[in-house]
Structure 1
Amino acid sequence: MDGETLLKTAADCADELPGADLEHPFGADWDVFKVRGKVFMLMTEVPGRPVVILKSDPGEALALREQYENITPGYHMNKKHWITLESGDAIEEQLVKELVTESYRLVVDGLPKSRQPVDPHTYGRGS
């Protein structure tokens, strides 16, 4: 998957998530996706390389970084809880969608129940 496709796939997926909003608090170069005011995805270019930055469970983040050379610790974020996704042959559309949805679920799970737009334990799991 090339960089442009990576960004479009991630943005299209985020746009479909209930309660997701796109903001630009850090300027036009940063697309920041939030749910109920909390960030779940950032997109930008790091010296010419399009990247998607996502929240991830620490254990899962470690496994993903070991499995994919194009997944690294979160750029300018807590390295334990965030990952950076770059384009590459091993990065497929389904993986991007799963990682975006999981990031969203993790953030929604941290919200008070009354502010959760979906049940984070069941949303997007095909149950």
Structure 2
Amino acid sequence: MDGQTLQDIARARALELPAAGITRPFGPEYDVAKVVGKMFLLLTEVRGERIVVMKADPRESEMLRETHPDITPGYHMNKRHWITLSPGGGLDEQLVRELVTDSYLLVVETLPRAQRPVDPSRFLTSASP
């Protein structure tokens, strides 16, 4: 998967999620997906390569990095809680969509209950668009 496709899939999935939107708080070269003002996804370019940076559960991110060479610690983020997806042959659309959804839910879980657009324990990746 090339970098443009990777970012297009991640952006499209982020925009499908309830109360999520894309902003550019760091400038035009950074697309940031937020839910209720909290960031869960960053789309940018590093050394000419389009990448996707997102939140991840620390235990899951370690496993993902060990099993997917195209997944590395988060670029310019907390290396334990964020991962970077890079273009290459190891990622498919379904995995990217699932990781974006997981990132979104990690942020939603931290929101006060009254502000949560969904119940994270009941939001099913397979049932979502």
Tell me which interval the TM-score lies in, with the shorter structure as reference length. Answer: over 0.9
* RMSD, aligned α-carbons: 0.9
User: For the residues of structure 1 that align with 2:40 and 2:3, how far apart are their CA atoms?
Assistant: 20
User: For the residues of structure 2 that align with 1:125 and 1:31, how far apart are their CA atoms?
Assistant: 23
Q: Using the TM superposition, give the Cα deviation of residue 71 of structure 1 relative to its aligned residue in structure 2, in angstroms.
A: 0.3
User: For the residues of structure 2 that align with 1:82 and 1:40, how far apart are their CA atoms?
Assistant: 9
Total equivalences in the alignment:
127
- AA aligned to 2:8 is K
TM-score (norm 2): 0.96
What residue number does 1:16 align with? 16
Q: Which runs of 5+ in 2 are unaligned?
A: none
TM-score (norm 1): 0.97
**2:22 partner SS:** strand
User: For the residues of structure 2 that align with 1:85 and 1:124, how far apart are their CA atoms?
Assistant: 22
**1:50 partner SS:** strand
Identity %: 54
Q: Which runs of 5+ in 1 are unaligned?
A: none
**4+ residue stretches of structure 1 with deviation over 2 A?**
124-127
User: For the residues of structure 2 that align with 1:7 and 1:27, how far apart are their CA atoms?
Assistant: 17
User: For the residues of structure 2 that align with 1:49 and 1:103, how far apart are their CA atoms?
Assistant: 22
